[in-house]
Amino acid sequence: MNEFQAKLKKEIKKVIPEIQSVRRYLHQNPEIGLHEFKTASSIKNFLFELGYKPKKPLLGTDVIVELKGKQESFICLRADIDALPIVEETGKSYASKNKGFAHSCGHDGHTAILLGTAKVLKRLEIIPEYSIRFIFQPGEEILAAGKDLVAKGCCSQAIATYALHGWPGLKTGIISCKSGPIFAAGALFKIEMIGTGCHGAMPEIGNNPILGVSELILGLEQLHQKHQAKDKSVISVCKIHAGNSSNVIPNSGIIEGTVRYLNENSAPEIENDIRNLIGEIGAKRNLQFKINYDSPYSLPTNNSCIEAERVKAIAKENLGSDSFVEAPSCSMANEDFAFYLDQTPGAMMRLGLGESHAGLHSPHFDFNDAALESGMLLFCSLALDPHTSSRTKGIKIKS
C-alpha cells in the first residue's frame, strides 16, 4: 500500500460514522421517482457544506456537482436517489416514516456512498487530472429517468462513467463486475379486458372479464416458457385487479407486468406475441381490451470491456486481492444506467451486501452499512485512477 492509498483509506474511515447516519436518514425518508424533493434538498445541503455548488437541475430533483480537475473532460460517478412504493417490514429503528414507501432497492446506500466519496475527495484537497462529476439521479425505478438526464447532457464530455448497485447474495464488501451485459433491457405492460358486469348470481346476463383475464395470465405464462427457453427472456404478471365485491361481476379486469430480455432483437417478437394473445382471447370471449405497452428500459446495461477490466484491477489493488469476483451472469433486472453506457465507456458494479441478505425489492430489505466503506473506496479509486496512462498522469496532494 502506497502513501496515497493509506491516506485515502484513513480519510474514508473517518467519515464512515457520518455517512452511516446520512444513509439511515435517507432510509427513513424515502420518496418515489421525480418527487424526491426532501431527498434532493438534503443532498444539496450536504454538498453545500463541503463547498460544492450544485448545477441547475435538469429534471427537477437531480443534483449534479463537480470537483474540478486539470482538464475539462471528466469522470462521472452516478447514484440513484429514489425509493419504491413498498411497505417496509424491517422493524429497524430508522425504518421508513413515509408509509407505503421504502428504500427496498438500496438507493439510500448508493446515495450515501456517493456523498461520502464527494466528501473524502474534498478533504484530501486533491487536484485530479480530470474533473469528477457526481450525479445524484432521480426516478431510476419504473420511470428510467436516467434516459432523460443523459439526453439533457449530464454525461457529455465524460471519458468514463461508473455506478454501483448493492447486491444481496454476494459477500459483504466484495466487488463484482463483468464486461458486456450485466442488467437486462425490459418493458412494462398494463392490459385491461372489458366485458359486461352483472349480478354474481346471474352470470349468464353478463360477460365476465375475469375469465378472460385468467386465460390471459395462463397464456402469458406459456409465452414466458417459450421465450425463456429460446433466449432467457422473461414475461411476468405482477399485478391483478378485478372487481370490488364478492357478489358483483365487474365490467373489467386489469393485469400489469414486466418483460425482460438481453437481446434487443427479441423485443418486437415478444411484444407481438403478447398483443396477438390478447387479440385471440378477446375475440374468443367477445371482450374488448386496452393495452399499454411501454419500453422505458429499452437497452441492456452493457459494460465496456476496458472499464470492466479497470474495475477489476483497481478493486484488487485498492481493496485487496480477494475483494473482486467476476460476475457469473447477467441479471434480468433493469437499470437505466444503460443509457449512460450507451453514450460513454463505463461500468456498473455490484457491491456485496451479504450472502444471506434480504433480496432486492423485498419489504425486509435494508442496505448493509458494512458495505459503505468498500463502495466509497472503489468510487474514489476509480475517480482518481492514477495507475492508468490513458487517465490521470499524477495526483497532487496539497500540503
Say if residue 25 is in the same domain as residue 156.
yes
Say if residue 146 is in the same domain as residue 205.
no
pLDDT at residue number 395:
38
Residues 158-185 have a mean pLDDT of 97
pLDDT at residue number 4:
81
CATH number at residue 371: 3.40.630.10
Determine the structural domain holding residue 358 and report its residue range. Answer: 3-179+304-397
Mean residue pLDDT of the chain comes to 95
Tell which residue, 106, 112, 51, has the closest CA to residue 83.
106
Task: Provide the 8-state DSSP code for 127.
Answer: E
Say if residue 171 is in the same domain as residue 71.
yes
Say if residue 264 is in the same domain as residue 318.
no
Say if residue 46 is in the same domain as residue 147.
yes
Query: How does residue 328 score in pLDDT terms, banded at 50, 70 and 90?
Result: very high
Contact in structure between 123 and 138 (CB atoms under 8 Å)? no
Q: Is 29 in a helix, a strand, or coil?
A: coil
Say if residue 337 is in the same domain as residue 366.
yes
| Structural domain count of the chain | 2
Domain end among 262, 297, 332: 297
Say if residue 143 is in the same domain as residue 123.
yes
Say if residue 23 is in the same domain as residue 142.
yes
Q: How far apart are CA 50 and CA 238, in angstroms?
A: 43
pLDDT at residue number 106:
98
Contact in structure between 299 and 342 (CB atoms under 8 Å)? yes
Q: Is 307 in a helix, a strand, or coil?
A: helix
List alpha helices for the chain, DSSP H. 3-28, 37-50, 107-123, 146-151, 209-231, 266-285, 305-319, 338-341, 372-384
Task: Please report, for the chain, how many H helices and E strands are present, in that order.
Answer: 9, 17
159, with CB counted inside 10 A (0-12, 13-18, 19+), is middle
Say if residue 220 is in the same domain as residue 157.
no
Contact in structure between 113 and 175 (CB atoms under 8 Å)? no
Query: How does residue 392 score in pLDDT terms, banded at 50, 70 and 90?
Result: very low
CATH number at residue 275: 3.30.70.360
Phi, psi values for residue 314, rounded to 5°: -70, -40
pLDDT(387) > 80: no
Domain end among 297, 319, 340: 297
Q: Which residues are within 8 A (CB) of 399 and not within 5 positions of it... i.e. 6 or more apart?
A: none
Reported as a single tens digit per residue, the pLDDT across 70-116 is 888 899 999 999 999 999 999 999 999 999 999 999 999 999 999 99
> Considering the entire predicted model, what is its pTM?
0.93
Element spanning 334, H or E: strand 331-334
Element spanning 172, H or E: none
- The DSSP annotation for 229-286 comes to HHH--EEEEEEEEE-S-TTEE-SEEEEEEEEEES-TTHHHHHHHHHHHHHHHHHHHHT
Q: How far apart are CA 212 and CA 207, in angstroms?
A: 10
Say if residue 293 is in the same domain as residue 365.
no
pLDDT at residue number 397:
35
Q: Is 132 in a helix, a strand, or coil?
A: strand
Task: Provide the 8-state DSSP code for 393.
Answer: S
Q: Is 167 in a helix, a strand, or coil?
A: strand
Q: Assign 3-state DSSP to the chain and report helix, strand, coil percentages, each to 5.
A: 35, 30, 35
Pairing verdict, β 252-261 and 234-242: antiparallel
Tell which residue, 242, 248, 244, has the closest CA to residue 198.
248
Say if residue 32 is in the same domain as residue 156.
yes
Q: How far apart are CA 150 and CA 346, in angstroms?
A: 14
Q: How far apart are CA 389 and CA 84, in angstroms?
A: 41
Say if residue 157 is in the same domain as residue 70.
yes
Domain end among 297, 325, 352: 297
